[in-house]
Structure 1
């Protein structure tokens, strides 16, 4: 059994080069997890969580390594200081999970539901999140390094004080998302709906594809005090 790793809180403040996330390391074999309960300070390695409901549980300082979640229900769990390393999530629910101070390293999430997920003051590194519903999710004070959101619903997501320098958003719905005091130097956006995003003063250094500027235009105009009137004015 590997030693327990403490989740890192913030990534380095030095500039980052954009890169694609590294892939999770595959387990040599998997053992089905058949327990109905999660226990605090447990280390779970090479476990398969298939069509299993663990909803509403509370456990802290859990470490999941080379685990696979397929059709798993973790909705409503409180998992502070959790660490997911080399894990895959497919068609699973993380809705309303609260995971303060957690880390996710070399992981992939695909077709998952994460509405209302709270991942605060944590670390997300080498992670791909694809076609997931993560509206109303909260990522306050979390550091992102080599993270790609692709085809995700992130409406009204909260990235307040997040370090997004290593984040890329492709074809995501970010309508009314909040970026208050976020560090966005180098964060990349392409094919995204950015209508109504909050606090554009934090967007200095962000890289936005030219096709996305239209959805940003009203917010940018308001930020510099431009008033827009219609033909009937």
Structure 2
């Protein structure tokens, strides 16, 4: 069990912490609004029940980082490797832009990525059961060997799924994505 210096119930506005290293802090019920954390290195830190609003998290590096019950709203999240975060991992993203993110082997059932732009993002061997991707846009985003059973992709755009390499039982899809599943088999629907 790690011991963190506690930072509790704080509201941080317009912080600019770029190209710095922060270690040994535990943030609990904190809000970060309009902050820029570009190229920030986090070591042995935790975020629990925190909220990030309109923040830039680009090229963030981390070691021994815990994220539990964290909300990201209208954030720019670029180049994060989520698979190396400590477990359990729980968060939700709404109205955010994710670019060059990788999720590999993450257990994220019922996760929310609603109304997000997911660009060049990879989900590989992830448990995304009953996840909510409603209203999101997918550009060069892949799902490989993922459990997507019960996931909701309604009102999303650009989604491409392979039914043979993903579990997709009871998935809610927009018409465009459903027809895309059939293209592989060269079926004609009239």
**TM-score normalized by the length of structure 1:** 0.67
Aligned to 1:221: 183
Indicate the residue corresponding to 2:128 in structure 1.
164
| From 61, 70, 73, the counterpart of 1:110 | 73
Asked if residue 147 in structure 1 is aligned to residue 83 in structure 2, the reply is no
Q: Report the equivalent of 1:63.
A: 26
Q: Which moved more, 1:164-173 or 1:140-149?
A: 140-149
3-state SS of the aligned residue for 1:89? strand
Report the Cα offset of residue 184 of structure 1. Answer: 2.1
Shift of 1:113: 0.8
Aligned length: 186
**1:94 aligns to what?**
57
Gaps of 5+ in 1: 6-40
- Structure with more relative contact order (C-alpha pairs < 8 Å, separation 6 or more): 1
Q: CA deviation at 1:200?
A: 3.8
Gap change, CA 1:169 and 1:195, over 3 Å in 2: closer
- Given the two structures, how large is their TM-score scaled by the length of structure 2? 0.81
Q: Give CA deviations for 1:70-122 in whole Å, capped at 9, x if unaligned.
A: 11111222335542111011111112223466432222211111122321244
1:99-153 superposed Cα distances (whole Å, 9 cap, x missing partner): 466432222211111122321244432x331111112222222221432111100
* Rg comparison, structure with higher value: 1
Structure 1 equivalent of residue 98 of structure 2: 134
Tell me what 1:186 maps to.
150
Give the secondary structure class of the aligned counterpart of 1:43: strand
Query: Is the aligned partner of 1:73 residue 2:36?
Result: yes
Distance 1:175 1:201, change over 3 A: farther
Q: Secondary structure at the match of 1:55?
A: coil
Maintained 8 Å contact 2:146/2:167? no
Q: Distance in 2 between matches of 1:180 and 1:136?
A: 16
CA-CA distance at 1:206 after TM superposition = 4.4
